[in-house]
Amino acid sequence: MDPVLLVVIIVGLLLVGGAGAFFLRSGRDHVPTLDPTTTDAADKAIDANAGPEAAVAVETEPSVSVEEDEPIVEAAPEPATFRGRLGKARSAMSGYLASVVGRGDANAETWEELEEALVRADVGVGPTMEILEAVRARADADKVTDGRAIIDLVKAELKDRLGGRDISLAEGGDPSVWLFVGVNGVGKTTTIGKIATREVAEGRNIVLAAGDTFRAAAAEQLTMWADRSGASVIRGGEGADPSSVIFDAVEHAAANDADVVLADTAGRLHTKTNLMNELSKVRRVAEKGAGTVTETLLVIDATTGQNGLIQAREFTQAADLTGVVLTKLDGSAKGGIVVAVQAELGIPVKLVGLGEGAHDLIEFDADEFVDALFE
């Protein structure tokens, strides 16, 4: 081969390869990472393995550094909506609903299909029967026979049952303390991070309490969220008494005029008595000083469906719950669990997690939720 041609080919290949590598690299550099190991803040914590006097580390400075010559432009986050994130739940029901609509006038199969649709969405057998009974009565009274109109009655019934609750997060302490409880992995720490992001953006002074002292990684994860949101975090060492960490966080909040302490807890559920003792101790100690516990929120993972309800019953008996945060509704075909949770527990679903990002948390709006589920 002509040596000149060979050189041209080699130079060409090098140029193409170099450009490719450059784009890959710069692309990667702009991807925000959620990996807790990337924060060095965790290393600054003082390890303390004991009692109420346990030393705690205070993190207030975000450890993010931005290089001047290469500004990081983060795209504005797409706000999470029910409509955008409930695709799985919607498709679990859509076949049955289409069949009901396609039939026109209702017959016995219509009611069976509606039942199947609601049970598939994890509304629960009991609530499904109650809802359909009410809808049947309404349809009879109003002489409604068309399938689509009956679906509208189902939607109206669901909205009635789910709506009209106070979903605000109560305050009134100085500081207020919001406790987050629930079994391991449901999304407590992530939810705290999301709420911190929202509250700090509204100009509020927020303190996170790393009350899950069972695993070192839990405090690191919370510290990462504190860094990202601009909240401060109080943490103890691995195995420290959770109550003492929360106590210290309340003290820190009071001394710094903070508005709210968001308290993380471990999701251990050895026995019911154990859980009850632990939660009542946390609450007592949190209120020992200037703080008042104004919310105790149970976090439930929507993908566990009816199993989440079993956990919920345990926690309802162990603590005075004020609300539920239902997480991972984005990845769940079981959106109807909202109905089951409210019917069974009688406490409102206040917030819903629709993803892993900082902005993927929305207030529970019954009308929007039902419309998104049936669209």
Return residues touching Mg ion (CB under 5 A): 188-189, 212, 218
Q: Work out which of 252, 328, 334, 350 binds ligand GDP, going by CB under 6 A.
A: 328
Q: Provide the minimum distance between the beta carbon of 86 and ligand GDP in the complex, in angstroms, as a whole number.
A: 12
Nearer to ligand GDP, 135 or 321 (CB): 321
Q: Cβ of residue 358: shortest distance to ligand GDP, in angstroms?
A: 11
In whole angstroms, what is the distance from residue 60 CA to residue 66 CA? Answer: 17
The three-state secondary structure class of 105 is strand
Question: Binding of ligand GDP at residue 187 (CB under 6 A)?
Answer: yes
Shortest Å, Cβ 61 to ligand GDP: 23
Q: Restricting to residues 271-310, name those near ligand GDP by CB under 6 A.
A: 299
Positions in 190-219 near ligand GDP (CB under 6 A): 190
Q: What is the torsional sign of CA 279, 284, 285, 287?
A: positive
Residue whose C-alpha is closest to residue 299's, from 324, 333, 267, 265: 324
Closest residue to ligand GDP in the complex (CB): 353
Which one of 330, 337, 366, 372 is in contact with ligand GDP (CB under 6 A)?
330
The least CB distance from residue 21 to ligand GDP, in Å, is: 31
CB-nearer residue toward Mg ion: 215 or 313: 215
> Residue 358, SS3?
coil
Q: Supply the minimum distance, in Å, between the C-beta of residue 360 and ligand GDP.
A: 6
State which residue, 187 or 348, has the beta carbon closest to ligand GDP.
187
What does the CA dihedral 117, 119, 121, 127 come to, rounded to 10 degrees?
Answer: 110
Decide if residue 189 touches ligand GDP (CB under 6 A): yes
Q: Does 186 bind ligand GDP (CB under 6 A)?
A: yes
Q: How many residues interact with ligand GDP (rule CB under 6 A)?
A: 19
Cβ partners under 8 Å of residue 298, min gap 6: 181, 182, 312, 315, 316, 319, 321, 323, 324, 325, 347
Q: How far apart are CA 254 and CA 264, in angstroms?
A: 18
Among 185, 255, 320, 363, binds ligand GDP (CB under 6 A): 185
Q: Does 353 bind ligand GDP (CB under 6 A)?
A: yes
Distance (Å, rounded) from C-alpha 361 to C-alpha 198? 9
Give, as ranges, the residues between 40 and 69 that touch ligand GDP (CB under 6 A).
Answer: none
Smallest separation (angstroms) from ligand GDP to the CB of 160: 26
The dihedral formed by the CA atoms of 306, 307, 310 and 312, expressed in degrees to the nearest 10: -80
If binding is defined by CB under 6 A, does position 356 make contact with ligand GDP?
yes
The secondary structure of the chain in percent helix, strand, coil, rounded to multiples of 5, reads 50, 10, 35
331 is a contact residue toward ligand GDP (CB under 6 A): yes
Question: Which residue of 327, 339, 348, 349 would you call a contact of ligand GDP, by CB under 6 A?
Answer: 327
Residue 291, helix vs strand vs coil:
coil
C-alpha span between 279 and 321 (Å, rounded): 11
Tell whether residue 184 is a contact of ligand GDP (CB under 6 A). Answer: yes
Which amino acid does the sequence have at 260?
A: V
Cα–Cα nearest to 225, from 198, 193, 194 = 193
In sequence order, which residues have a C-beta less than 8 Å from that of residue 182 and are 6 or more positions away?
188, 267, 298, 299, 300, 311, 315
Site of interaction with ligand GDP (CB under 6 A): 182, 184-190, 267, 299, 327-328, 330-331, 353-356, 360
